[in-house]
Structure 1
Amino acid sequence: MNHNTPAPLSSRPLPLCHLSRNQRRVMSGAQLKAHGVSHSVAQEQCREGGPWQQLLPGVFLLHPGPPTSDERLHAVLLYAARVQATRTRMDAVPSQPAPGATPGPAAVPDGPVASPYRDAMVTGLAALSLHGFCAAPPAASLDHIDVLVPRTRRLRSTEFARLVRATWLPAPVQLQGVPVAPVPRALADAVAGLSDANAVRRLLTEAVRGGHCEPAAVVRELNQCRLLTRPHVVDAVDSLLAEGRAIAEDRLYAMVREHGLPDPVWNVDLRLPGGPHLGGVDAYWPEHAVAVELDTRAPRQDEDALWSEYARKREHLERLGITVVHITPKKLRESVEQQATVVRTALMTSDERDPAAYVVVLPR
């Protein structure tokens, strides 16, 4: 063998130029093995001054120098999925060729290729940064990147990978080539690690003002993560609900104005003459006996009781002949024209219904 003779295949890594660009030259040990790179060869490449480096246990960066923000994201996802990925890819690892045999290309399984991250997804502040939150620091500046995994995953947080375990996982969204937890779940995981009340309030407020999600979805996640027992979180939630209701009311005013509906009386209480209080509504057309109520209830521990109280009020008004149109903030945001049609239909068909009972209308 002279200096022009190439080294044996088993002693050097195969060319890796065909790897997916989305992985940003970050690979797990199982993926390297599937490409013919043994663990010992990978470790040799990561020696001091070598061309590779090991970012996390079982996760390798295929270039020298500091990793980019994207590469750190891919690294924590590969680390969080590496146990499951190793087990599922074991059968796909090519065997070493027999002596004298010419190695052929690795077999590619039929059908769609599974995600290398399996069920892991970025969450917390890093996820909010990917969702475009101004109140969240850039992912590159974070000391730790939170990654959401099933509760049964047997891995520990290490280096800059911090594992967040959950009994159930939401469906991730794909942002910048990585799976990311939806905003409500990412918010809950971010809030869990924050003790600064102002930081919590800024994140929750931006979620609503920026149109990322509805307040009810945020409160539901905070409740499921058992964060509503923390005083600074409860205070922020109260501000969030007030913010969400104000935005929903503005959208309701705009719907009436922009879709040519007659002006109602706004934010009133209804009472029977000399009788009990019937409840408040957000808009009421007395001549048509039509009311609109915004459902801005926050799902908490007493959600069933709140729903029962709301249902009783609605049933009572309808027994008196008052048509109640129920609108959620989400419907006002996503299908305002349809909601305006529902209200207009209720107003136009009021003459076809039996006359409603006389009620007293008072400012709320």
Structure 2
Amino acid sequence: MNHNTPVSPRPLSHLTDATTRVLTAAQLRAHGVAAADLTAACRPGGPWQQILPGVFLLHPGPPTSEERLHAVLLYAGRPPGEKVTLPQQSADSAAAASLPPNRRPAVDAAAAAAPEIPAAYGDAMITGLAALTLHRFSSAPPLLALERIDVLVPRTRRLRSTGPAHLVRSHALPRPQLVTGVPVAPVPRALADAVAQLADASAVRRLLTEAVRGGHCEPAAIVKELNQARLLTRPHVVDAVDSLLAEGRAIAEDRLYRLVSEHGLPDPLWNVDLRLPGGPHIGGVDAYWPDQAVALELDTRAPRQDEDALWSEYARKREHLERLGITVVHITPKKLRDAMDQQAQVVRTALMASSDRDPAAYVVVLPR
């Protein structure tokens, strides 16, 4: 034995799942596979194959969709020279698991419950259409139908797109979500990366509509990502966004109707304009309780280039109403979706507190 011979090479017979049927050259070396043996195994007719530069598939057939995902993450995830992590339980973890329960080291409950992204993936994550498929979008194609898989990486990563791996670079990476053991970009970011490569207006519209109807996210979050990606200059994207905002508005209004009926709140006047008698127009509100002088507004603003001007208009109207003694309740579609009970209590509190306030100024209420 010389100094180049691996000590106690690790057998590969235990490599049975997708994360271990796809390994990097560095991981194989750590398992005791010599470079010459790796080259021989990947020759035509051999048992292994190279699927991406430095990434190997440990069987001769075509890769499964799961194996392709792990391959592109391994290719994009680890900068050269990073410490190798073997795809198996660490010795310390295995030793701890072998101890009796009363002698095992304490583990923080939150840390234990949090999903752990494999270290070999680094900060890479699946995005684009592949991510939407993993998020269970019915309008996204199956993974095996995708020739390329988008993988989000830092802008400083020195790699090129090749084979099934299409690198999408970003100055700021979102926090990934773990889906079936794979780090995946959140839906708004995955949508933006998918739309950036789609010229089909109907496909863009289907994806954006499903995101809202399926409850994956709110329109404002999608428009924010599209705006940051500078996609709102494309006519087919703008048209789809206009439909998306109308769809999101309708869904939010339906939730607001449910909030009032299901929580036993008094019926308001819906979608009305407020004016001073013989005076100027104050503005429209989504619901108004004239006896209690409480107005409710749904904030369905989308963060576009004119956001500052739109927010100034919102703020001006709110200040005007409050100067007249009218309480303004401000609710976002996200809060309606995620915390309807809490928002109902906010409205109820505002209605009950009206008896403790000075009478509000008289306003004219007109249909909007």
Does TM, scored on the shorter chain, surpass 0.5? yes
> How far has the Cα of 1:10 moved from its partner?
5.7
- The question of 1:315 aligning with 2:356 is answered no
| One of 192, 197, 200 as aligned partner of 2:204 | 200
Paired residue for 1:301? 305
Pair 1:225 & 2:229 matched: yes
Mapped to 2, the partners of 1:303 and 1:167 lie a distance apart of 23
Structure-1-length-normalised TM-score: 0.89
Three-state SS of the structure 2 residue aligned to 1:339 is helix
Does the 8 Å contact 1:22/1:177 carry over to 2? no
Q: Map of 1:96-245 to 2, 5 A cutoff? A: 115-245=119-249
Partners of 1:359 and 1:48 in 2: CA distance: 83
For residues 16 and 325 of structure 2, the distance between their equivalents in structure 1, rounded to whole angstroms, comes to 64
The answer to whether the aligner puts 1:334 opposite 2:330 as a matched pair is no
**Relative to structure 1, is the Cα distance of residues 109 and 39 closer, same or farther in structure 2, using a 3 angstrom cutoff?**
farther
Equivalent position of 1:33 in the other structure: 29
Q: Given the alignment, which residue of 277, 280, 283 partners 1:279?
A: 283
Q: Contact conserved, 2:117 with 2:182, CA < 8 A, in 1?
A: no
Could you tell me how far apart the structure 2 residues matched to 1:208 and 1:231 are?
Answer: 20
Native 8 Å contact 2:293 2:354 kept in 1: yes
3-state SS in 1 of match to 2:45? coil
The 3-state SS of whatever aligns with 2:13 is: coil
**Please, which of 260, 263, 266 is the counterpart of residue 267 of structure 2?**
263
Question: Is contact 1:24-1:71 (8 Å) kept?
Answer: no
Contact 2:151–2:165 (Cα < 8 Å) also in 1: yes
Partner of residue 89, structure 1: 83
SS in 2 for 1:170: coil
Q: Give yes or no for contact 2:117–2:178 (8 Å, CA) kept in 1.
A: no
Aligned counterpart, 1:47: 43
CA contact (8 A) 2:176 2:184 kept: yes
Which residue in the other structure is 1:99 paired with? none
Q: CA deviation digits over 1:153-187, x for unaligned, max 9?
A: 01000011100000100000011111000000000
Displacement after TM superposition at 1:20 (Å):
7.7
- Residue 17 of structure 1 and its aligned partner are, at CA, apart by 3.3
Deviation string for 1:83-141 (max 9, x for gaps)?
Answer: x1x41226x89xxxxxxxxxxxxx95899995210100000000000000000001111
Q: CA RMSD in A?
A: 2.3
C-alpha distance in structure 2 between counterparts of 1:133 and 1:154, whole Å: 31
Could you say which residue in structure 1 is the equivalent of 2:99?
none
Percent of residue pairs bearing the same amino acid type: 74
- Is the contact between residue 13 and residue 41 of structure 1 (CA under 8 Å) also seen in structure 2? no
Gaps of 5+ in 2: 94-106, 108-115
State the alpha-carbon separation in 2 of the partners of residues 146 and 59 from structure 1.
17
What's the offset of the Cα at 1:22? 5.2
Equivalent residue, structure 2, for 1:67 = 63
Partner of 1:102: none
| Residues 1:13 and 1:51: Cα distance change in structure 2 (over 3 Å) | farther
Q: Post-superposition shift, 1:21?
A: 3.4
The one-letter code of the counterpart of 1:73 is L
Partner Cα separation in structure 1 for residue 15 and residue 119 of structure 2: 14
Q: Say whether the 8 Å CA contact 1:131–1:183 is kept in structure 2.
A: yes
TM-score, length-scaled by structure 2: 0.88
Equivalent in 349, 358, 361 of residue 357 of structure 1? 361
Q: What residue in structure 1 maps to residue 113 of structure 2?
A: none
Tell me if structure 2 keeps the 8 A contact 1:197–1:236. Answer: yes
